[in-house]
Chains A and B, each alone.
Chain A
Amino acid sequence: DAMVIQNPRYQVTQFGKPVTLSCSQTLNHNVMYWYQQKSSQAPKLLFHYYDKDFNNEADTPDNFQSRRPNTSFCFLDIRSPGLGDAAMYLCATSRGLGSEQFFGPGTRLTVL
């Protein structure tokens, strides 16, 4: 089945230690998104790629970076995680901008 896969499902890191979360898709969608979701809140868009074009949300901290080496894969790099970065990170894809999004299962990040 076509799907969005995120690895790992759970990630524990130490304060200030860089961490990378990965997302892959078999849907061949043009757009890939990264969201941060804290407990009982709506997902907050960090950035998205339309093909190779990177679009950063204005309020996304510089601490968060992303790479999309090819259509299938997208990575979220957190350069120096703080305690406030502990959250669920959701990857999503869509055929085009504004189309329905298909989400992965998320990676729950814990920062010690």
Chain B
Amino acid sequence: AQKITQTQPGMFVQEKEAVTLDCTYDTSDPSYGLFWYKQPSSGEMIFLIYQGSYDQQNATEGRYSLNFQKARKSANLVISASQLGDSAMYFCAMRGEKDKIIFGKGTRLHILP
């Protein structure tokens, strides 16, 4: 069975500090993908970054990077130099068996001025 776990329901971080949002996963499929989405209070889900299970290097997109540790089945999102606009809900998601995508429960990030 597939599973995505985000253990941090909420986080408070000072502006300009780096943030790590945790995500662990479980799947028996050797081919899978991991996604991170941001959901501001307006409601729209915004795609941030993707990591494929066979990708050799950790994905990076601007201030976002994915710390992919395959043996530990973790795919943590790292946001460098946090900004007030980073305050939002963050969802980790996985593409697994039959290309089905499942979402974690999310982490609410608050950036403090």
Contacts and interface: CB of A to CB of B under 8 A. Distances in A.
Interface of A: 40-43, 45, 88, 90, 92, 96-98, 100-106, 108
A52 B81 CA distance: 44
Contacts of A103: 37, 44-47
A106 B47 contact: no
Interface in B19-62: 33, 35, 37, 42-47, 50
A101 B106 CA distance: 17
A51 to B, nearest CB: 15
Interface of B: 33, 35, 37, 42-47, 50, 91, 95, 99-101, 103-106, 108
A100 B47 contact: yes
Contact of A105 (B37, B43, B103): B43
A106 B44 contact: yes
Interface of A is mostly: loop
A88 B47 CA distance: 18
Contacts of A96: 99
Given A98-B101, A100-B47, 15 more contacts: A42-B91, A43-B103, A90-B43, A90-B45, A98-B100, A100-B50, A101-B35, A101-B47, A103-B37, A103-B44, A103-B45, A103-B46, A103-B47, A104-B44, A106-B44
